[in-house]
Amino acid sequence: MARKNPSSKKKAAKEGFVPNIVAFACNWCSYAGADTAGTNRVQYSPNFRIIRTMCSGRVTPGFVLKAFKLGADGVLVSGCHFGDCHYIFGNYRAVEQFDKTKALVKTLGLDERRVRLEWISAAEGTRWGEIIDEFVAEITSLGPSPLNHKPKSKK
Amino acid sequence: MMDAGRHPNIEVLTNSELTHLDGRAGSFRATVRKNPRYVSEELCTGCGLCIDDCPVIVPNEFEVGMGARKAIYSPFPQAVPNTHIIDREHCLNDDFLVCNNCLNVCDRNAINFDDPGEEIRLDVGAVIVATGFDVYNASAIPSYGYGLYHNVLTNMELERLLNATGPTRGHIVRPSDHKVPRKIAFVQCVGSRGEGREAGCQYCSRFCCMNAIKDCLLVKQHESDIEELMVFYIDVRAAGKGFEEFYQRSLGMPELKYVRGRPSKIIEDPQTRDLIISVENGETGEVSKVRADLVVLSTGAVAAASNRDLAEVLGINLDENSFFEVEPRYGSPLHTAREGIYVCGCAAGPNDISDSVAQGSGAAAEAEVFTAKLPAEEEPLVKEELDISGPPRVGVFLCHCGINIAGVLDIEELKEVAKNIPDVVYVEDNLFLCSDEGQRLVQEKIVEHRLNRVVAAACTPRTHEPIFRESCDQVGLNPYLFEMVNIRDQCSWVHTKVPKIATKKARDLIGMGVARARHLQPLYRKTIPVNQSVLVIGGGVAGMCAALELEAQGMKVYLLEKEGRLGGILNNLTRVYPANLSAFELARTMVEKIKASRVEAMASTEVNSITGFVGNFDVSTTNGNFRVGAVVVATGAHIYKPQGEFGYGRFENVITNQELENILHESKDGIHVNGKTPGTVLFIQCVGSRDTEKDTGCSRFCCPTTIKQAIRLRENGVNVVVLHRDVRTVGAKAEEHYRHARELGVKFIRYTPERLPHVSGRDQRAEQVEIRELALHQTLEIDVDYVVLAAGMVPNEQSTAKLHDILKVPLGADGFFMERHAKLGPVESTTEGVFLAGCVSGPKDIADSIAQGAAAAAKVASLISHDTVALEPTTCVVDQTLCRACGRCVEICDYHAPSLVEVAPGLKAAQINQALCKGCGTCASWCPTGAIAAMHFTDEQIDSMMEALLAG
């Protein structure tokens, strides 16, 4: 299995660590932005998996904690820019939820850089790619999550 | 765009033109020439393989020539239809050597070089002209050097540079050296508000000021290295809802400097390619040369070149600027002189987005009067539902999308993996799953293998989920048992160079999709009956217009007016700009139409309460109770009553625009007050408007109103002086009136909020106004007979507060009702079934209010012209046994869908109204006990995806 990641840092290649990243994307802006990245053939790191929700406000701290419990190394939550939310203020609720998430993540002893909240619009395909690259590089440099009990057991 | 493309009642004819129209309103016969695109719309899937193989590279028009495209191309990424087109002018097949690359690579045989195009005939009831505008050609002004100097761009070019998908991927660079500019200068009114030799157009293009302000903010966001942004302007015309607030915000940007002055010329430094701008500062009178790294010309809008031919075909006139002429008789911006033909947006003159959207809906309402009742959408065949009991039986279908997916991912490997996922009983792949053949395959296999869950690994659910869902539905499988996995847009297209890793990702995604599919539950769309009557609150011009449009479409309309008579503010006006219509006549015509119609107009009536939801509102008024399907709020606004500013109330000759309007109304021959013609009348603009402390924006109508009155006074020999902050004449013909007023000798002097004019007088009479003339560095003392305060518009606090409570429509910081979307939903509220029209959502003039009235009518009609409305089942549902009635969901829902109800004596629990819930799922994430489930995005479904990914 190829372990080389085209855009992450050299360090990652050296250590052979490929992070598990879960990205929650809202249906209207961020998921659409990821589609736009495709339409424009933006090439970026494949080391993340998207879970679509209707709104970033749907992402409870529970989802994020569950992801870490199951061995994720990083979690991205992304929604619409302020003022663009399909549900008016859902992204403001996401901010409130995210603050709690962050506090809980810290309480668990995890580095708070392992969770990130971003606003990406349907038009911002390039930005989607850049943010994923950046986040993948950051999580790679942070190394495996201390809660990730079986880093080597992935298929 | 995609909504229009997918709508069952809309047929989009692109690359087509109207060549002939005869008949009359209600029964036009149109001939449309469909120009050949050489690619079949039916066969092309938009996969893009032909584009990759096309050897011809030409400048891309969409990128204003700054990017490249092929000879076979899509005009822009989200074009509808998603079909390519061949540019035969550049295609090699017209040369001696035939290339045929696209023809050879297309698996679907969609390419036909012999496509002759088509001429089609259509029977239509009405025609709406929405052909937009052309951008002014900036090279027509040689002194600005566009086209000559490298680093002079237009605003359109800057827009592309700012775009993340544009030629520089969102980076602002100088064309000459590809460096990030440190100093950028914006030059406003290029081709607009023209004077003298390089005149361009005389009108104001309306949107360029806001566009420049927005671009300044964006430029700084994109390139933090930028040190200075300068905007050279004549007036900052931030005249629209929220625009003034936006402008004020931009004033807080340290890098941004506004300079009042129109540059006389721009020259290039041949060494550095920097630009030197010569300009006289209108505030200091100082003439200077300013250096900038990049100059952006804010080019205005000109009439589309195609207008002349189209006007001839339609048999209507163009105005002096070659825009489509509006028939002034109706006071509406939508009517042309020919019945049944309507115009909206920039086809009739420059407009911004929200006004264009409102006009578009308004034109639709006008057109609906002449279109026969559409046949109800086809009754879906009621299929017997398949038996889905028992454990999940998942079918996985993999799409190759030509080589879009299969060229990167290892389909065989994915098939093998899919087969080994628990509960997967069938796996199949197909070249194009979205084709008719692919869909038939899915349907056959559902029946053959008794599949009760279907997973398609293909493109994006955002475009293709509806197609698959419909196919499932047709064979009796509940459409919500379908799951789509995106292995193209978010996998094969973006990880093209690492096929193995991309395949690994696709394996995970398919695993996650199947896991989620196993937890999917059938959901059913509930239909609720719709009451086909409408309540219009407010009998002003917007309300009357909405009521008349709805009545013309055969709906029962209740029109409520608080006052004793209909007409609203129109009753207090004399003349209505721009066409100088008699306000009295306009009001009388509308009131008479209402009286002659079946509209149930109730004067001196107020709303007590409204309960219920979309389609079923129970209304209680001081004049009886009834039930309606929708509500239009058109309660208008108040004219600001000055609170002692500029001696108002102290001096009897300090009056408002509206009080002057009464004087003008009563003056028949000339202008007489107490038998005398006043010598000098001085207007002071922006009284009660543009006050940052009070959150008041620009009222938009006062500048044209003052100018209208100033012209009338001046024509009767009165001296007129106007003290203003910016002259904001953005509406139709308003700039022309401004020019006319200056030609008549009306004097315009600018003041700033830091140095307000001072009105002094004796006893009860104002005698003199002191004003600092900025450019002259002098204080002027002007003897006056009258001071007229241009009082802005303020929300009608009493009625908005009451309706806010009753209807749950949010209010903005300025106290006006908030629209669903500032640009795209100007007449919709966030409450389904409740619409806004006229000044209730912000200051507007008569023409804009009429357009909004018609727009609200169109929105109401599209909602309640059916007997029932289907509710999307992907809403949130409360398990009341788990609910402890904490009320968090009630607090956070902006749609007021949850409420606490008594479920047993003394026991409360939350309940979510399906008709109000939009399905965002936010309440489900906030519910502390897990009582709320977001249907189709439940906790189990999302958890199962994470488990499949991480624990697998």
pLDDT band at B574; cut points 50, 70, 90: confident
CB atoms near residue B258 (< 10 Å): 20
0.90 surpassed by pTM: no
B195 has pLDDT over 80: no
Task: Give yes or no for a contact between B653 and B674, defined as CB atoms under 8 angstroms apart.
Answer: no
Chain B residues with beta carbon closer than 8 angstroms to that of A101: none
Give pLDDT tens digits for B518-568: 999 999 998 889 999 999 999 999 999 999 999 998 899 999 999 999 999
Which among A37, A55, A62 is the nearest to B921, CB-wise? A55
The total number of residues shown for chain A amounts to 155
CATH of B529-636+796-869, one of 3.40.1190.10, 2.60.120.260, 3.40.50.300, 3.50.50.60: 3.50.50.60
Tell me the percentage of chain B whose pLDDT exceeds 70: 97
A15 has pLDDT over 70: no
Which among B496, B830, B920 is the nearest to A90, CB-wise? B920
Coil, helix or strand at residue B47: coil
The one-letter code for the residue type at B174 is R
Q: For position B871, what pLDDT does the model report?
A: 86
Chain A residues with beta carbon closer than 8 angstroms to that of B495: 43-44, 46
> Angle between the B353-368 and B846-864 helix axes, to the nearest 10 degrees?
60
CA B558 to chain centre: 29
Task: Give yes or no for a contact between B267 and B145, defined as CB atoms under 8 angstroms apart.
Answer: yes
Q: Own/partner pairs for A101-107, CB < 8 Å, 24+ apart? A: A101/A61, A101/A64, A101/A65, A101/A77, A104/A61, A104/A64, A104/A65, A105/A64, A105/A65, A105/A68
Which among B169, B501, B947 is the nearest to A46, CB-wise? B501
**Pairing of the two strands B932-934 and A74-79:** unpaired
pLDDT band at B381; cut points 50, 70, 90: low
Q: For position B677, what pLDDT does the model report?
A: 85
Maximum Cα–Cα distance across chain A: 45
pLDDT band at B254; cut points 50, 70, 90: very high
* Phi and psi torsions of B204, nearest 5°: -95, 135
| Nearest of A123, A111, A140 to residue A17 by alpha carbon | A140
Interface touch A88/B488, C-beta < 8 Å: no
Contacts of B371 (CB under 8 A, 6+ apart): B124, B125, B126
Residue with the bigger pLDDT between B831 and B313: it is: B313
Cα-based distances in Å from B717 to B166, B663, B668:
56, 16, 14
Interface touch B921/A38, C-beta < 8 Å: no
Give pLDDT tens digits for B159-191: 999 886 688 878 899 999 999 999 999 999 999
Gyration radius of chain B over CA positions? 31
B640 has pLDDT over 80: yes
Give pLDDT tens digits for B764-822: 999 999 999 888 889 999 999 999 999 999 999 999 999 998 988 888 888 999 888 88
Chain B residues with beta carbon closer than 8 angstroms to that of A22: 946, 949-950
User: Poorest-confidence range of A71-85, B64-78, B421-435, B847-861?
Assistant: B64-78
Contacts of B163 (CB under 8 A, 6+ apart): A123, B170
Question: What is the CATH topology of the domain spanning B394-524?
Answer: Rossmann fold (3.40.50)
Contacts of B186 (CB under 8 A, 6+ apart): B155, B212, B215, B216, B229, B230, B231, B232, B295, B296, B298
pLDDT band at A8; cut points 50, 70, 90: very low
| Nearest of B240, B312, B297 to residue B263 by alpha carbon | B297
Interface touch A1/B500, C-beta < 8 Å: yes
The one-letter code for the residue type at B811 is L
Work out the minimum CA distance from B890 to partner chain A, whole angstroms.
13
B831 has pLDDT over 90: no
Interface touch A35/B919, C-beta < 8 Å: no
3-state helix, strand, coil in chain A (%, to 5): 45, 15, 45
CA B947 to chain centre: 42
Interface touch A38/B494, C-beta < 8 Å: yes
Average pLDDT of the segment spanning B629-644: 95
The one-letter code for the residue type at B144 is Y
Task: Give yes or no for a contact between B941 and B517, defined as CB atoms under 8 angstroms apart.
Answer: no
Which among A6, A36, A67 is the nearest to B497, CB-wise? A6
Task: Give yes or no for a contact between B215 and B706, defined as CB atoms under 8 angstroms apart.
Answer: no
Residue corresponding to tokens 């930028």: B226
Chain B residues with beta carbon closer than 8 angstroms to that of A93: 892, 922, 925-926
Average pLDDT of the segment spanning B32-54: 91
Chain A residues with beta carbon closer than 8 angstroms to that of B933: none
For B822, which residue in chain A has the nearest alpha carbon?
A83
The one-letter code for the residue type at B774 is L
Which among B922, B937, B950 is the nearest to A70, CB-wise? B950
Which among B498, B892, B918 is the nearest to A93, CB-wise? B892
Contacts of B272 (CB under 8 A, 6+ apart): none
Token code pair at residue B434: 């979205």
CB atoms near residue B480 (< 10 Å): 19
pLDDT band at B382; cut points 50, 70, 90: low
Residue with the bigger pLDDT between B347 and B916: it is: B347
For B917, which residue in chain A has the nearest alpha carbon?
A87
* Average model confidence (pLDDT) across chain B: 92
Which among A49, A89, A90 is the nearest to B508, CB-wise? A49
- To test the contact with chain A by mutation, choose from B408, B514, B920, B938 the residue with the greatest count of A C-beta atoms within 10 A, namely B920
Distance CA A19, CA A10 (A): 14
| Nearest of B775, B754, B682 to residue B721 by alpha carbon | B682
Same fold, B135-301 and B645-792: yes
CATH for B875-934 is 3.30.70.20
Q: For position B196, what pLDDT does the model report?
A: 61
CA B903 to chain centre: 43
Q: What is the dihedral of CA B595, B601, B603, B606, to 10 degrees?
A: -170
Distance CA B628, CA B864 (A): 10
- To test the contact with chain B by mutation, choose from A4, A8, A50, A52 the residue with the greatest count of B C-beta atoms within 10 A, namely A52
Average pLDDT of the segment spanning B933-941: 96
Give pLDDT tens digits for B871-920: 889 999 999 999 999 999 999 998 889 999 999 999 999 999 998 899 99
Domains of chain B: which residue ranges?
A: 2-128, 135-301, 303-368, 394-524, 529-636+796-869, 645-792, 875-934
Interface touch B494/A35, C-beta < 8 Å: no
**Pairing of the two strands B341-343 and B127-129:** parallel
Q: For position B556, what pLDDT does the model report?
A: 95
- To test the contact with chain B by mutation, choose from A26, A39, A104 the residue with the greatest count of B C-beta atoms within 10 A, namely A39
Which among B486, B498, B939 is the nearest to A46, CB-wise? B498
Give pLDDT tens digits for B721-732: 999 999 999 988
Task: Give yes or no for a contact between B697 and B242, defined as CB atoms under 8 angstroms apart.
Answer: yes
Work out the minimum CA distance from A7 to partner chain B, whole angstroms.
11
Distance CA B896, CA B894 (A): 6
Work out the minimum CA distance from B939 to partner chain A, whole angstroms.
8
CATH for B135-301 is 3.50.50.60
For A21, which residue in chain B has the nearest alpha carbon?
B950
Which of left, alpha, beta for B411 (phi over 0: left; psi -120 to 50: alpha)? alpha
Give pLDDT tens digits for B838-852: 999 999 999 999 999
Task: Give yes or no for a contact between B40 and B114, defined as CB atoms under 8 angstroms apart.
Answer: no
Work out the minimum CA distance from B210 to partner chain A, whole angstroms.
17
Q: Domains of chain A by range and CATH?
A: 13-142 (3.40.50)
| Nearest of B420, B360, B526 to residue B4 by alpha carbon | B360
- To test the contact with chain A by mutation, choose from B82, B494, B523 the residue with the greatest count of A C-beta atoms within 10 A, namely B494
Which among A6, A34, A58 is the nearest to B920, CB-wise? A58
Coil, helix or strand at residue B518: helix
Chain A residues with beta carbon closer than 8 angstroms to that of B945: 51
Interface touch A32/B462, C-beta < 8 Å: yes
Contacts of A146 (CB under 8 A, 6+ apart): A109, A110
Distance CA A115, CA A135 (A): 9
Average pLDDT of the segment spanning B739-756: 94
Distance in angstroms between the alpha carbons of the first and the last residue of chain A: 9
Task: Give yes or no for a contact between A11 and A140, defined as CB atoms under 8 angstroms apart.
Answer: yes
pLDDT band at B702; cut points 50, 70, 90: very high
Q: What would the 3-class secondary structure string for B52-63 be?
A: HHCCCEEEEHHH
Work out the minimum CA distance from A123 to partner chain B, whole angstroms.
7
- To test the contact with chain A by mutation, choose from B78, B465, B490 the residue with the greatest count of A C-beta atoms within 10 A, namely B490
B666 has pLDDT over 90: no
Give pLDDT tens digits for B263-283: 999 999 999 999 999 999 988
| Nearest of B414, B300, B413 to residue B352 by alpha carbon | B300
Strands of B482-486's sheet, edge to edge? B424-430, B394-399, B453-458, B482-486
Task: Write b or e for each residue in B757-791: b if 16 or more Cβ atoms lie within 10 A of its Cβ, otherwise e.
Answer: bebebeeeebbebebbebbeeeeeebebbbbbbbb
Average pLDDT of the segment spanning A30-47: 91
Report CA torsion sign: A29, A30, A34, A40: positive
CB atoms near residue B71 (< 10 Å): 24
Distance CA B488, CA B406 (A): 9
Token code pair at residue B99: 């290339």
Give pLDDT tens digits for A117-133: 999 988 888 899 999 99
Contacts of B278 (CB under 8 A, 6+ apart): B263, B264, B265, B266, B267, B287, B288, B289
| Nearest of B482, B425, B474 to residue B458 by alpha carbon | B482
Instruction: Among A143-152, B233-242, B383-392, B666-675, name the most confident range.
Output: B233-242
The one-letter code for the residue type at B600 is E
Token code pair at residue A41: 């053939």
Question: What is the CATH topology of the domain spanning B645-792?
Answer: FAD/NAD(P)-binding domain (3.50.50)
Distance CA B522, CA B540 (A): 48
Distance CA B873, CA B641 (A): 49
Give pLDDT tens digits for B589-631: 999 999 999 999 999 999 999 998 889 999 999 999 999 999 9
Average pLDDT of the segment spanning B917-945: 95
A5 has pLDDT over 50: no
Distance CA B154, CA B161 (A): 11
B570 has pLDDT over 60: yes
Interface touch A35/B925, C-beta < 8 Å: no
Helices (H), chain A: 10-15, 30-39, 61-69, 90-107, 125-142
Distance in angstroms between the alpha carbons of the first and the last residue of chain B: 41
- To test the contact with chain B by mutation, choose from A30, A48, A51 the residue with the greatest count of B C-beta atoms within 10 A, namely A51
Contacts of B153 (CB under 8 A, 6+ apart): B161, B175, B294, B295, B296, B297
